[in-house]
Amino acid sequence: MDNKCPMCNHELIAFKNGSSIGVRCSSCDYSVVTSYIEPIFEDKNVYTIILEKGNALSKDSLKTVSGIIGKNYIAAKKCISSAPSILFQGYAADVMDVKKILDTSAMKYSISPKFPY
Ligand SMILES: [Zn+2]
């Protein structure tokens, strides 16, 4: 990209602000904003979340697992007691949502391949 302002020929400065990136002029009001896509949304790898052994069969863990797999407590109980078992498969952005739930519930799990976020 040309790094001189088309309006006044001063230098353009790159900036990042939340979900926007662009360049703005160091002198006048000229700026170009483009939306920025987080790399996680462009990641087309399919990740697998594996529930590890050693998770307690508590009301909380059943509720968490049940919510993730979208099935009842009986299926959730089976998933926990037969661990390691596949809890979820999906793209990075979806895996991140599940990861957040698992992290707040302090459950033991792993993600394959290595989850870089
Ligand atoms: Zn300018």
Residue 1 has pLDDT above 70, yes or no: no
**Distance between CA atoms of 116 and 46, rounded to whole angstroms?**
13
Structure letter (DSSP) for residue 52 = P
CB of 55 closer than 8 Å to CB of 77 = no
Return the domain boundaries, the chain.
1-36, 41-112
pLDDT at 64: 96
Residue 10 has pLDDT above 60, yes or no: yes
Q: Ligand 1: distance of its center to the CA of 31 in Å? A: 8
Q: Among 2.60.200.30, 3.30.70.270, 3.30.70.20, 3.30.1390.10, what is the CATH number of 41-112?
A: 3.30.1390.10
Residue 111 has pLDDT above 90, yes or no: yes
Q: Ligand 1: distance of its center to the CA of 68 in Å? A: 51
Q: What is the dihedral of CA 7, 8, 12, 16, to 10 degrees?
A: -50
Which tokens is 5 given?
A: 């302002």
pLDDT confidence bin for 2, thresholds 50/70/90: low
Q: Ligand 1: distance of its center to the CA of 12 in Å? A: 8
Q: Ligand 1: distance of its center to the CA of 29 in Å? A: 6
pLDDT confidence bin for 81, thresholds 50/70/90: very high
Q: Which residues pair with 85 in a beta bridge?
A: 51
Q: Ligand 1: distance of its center to the CA of 10 in Å? A: 5
CA angle centred on 15, ends 11 and 19, rounded to 5°: 150
pLDDT digits (tens, 9 = 90+) for 13-57: 999 887 788 999 999 999 998 877 788 888 999 999 999 999 999
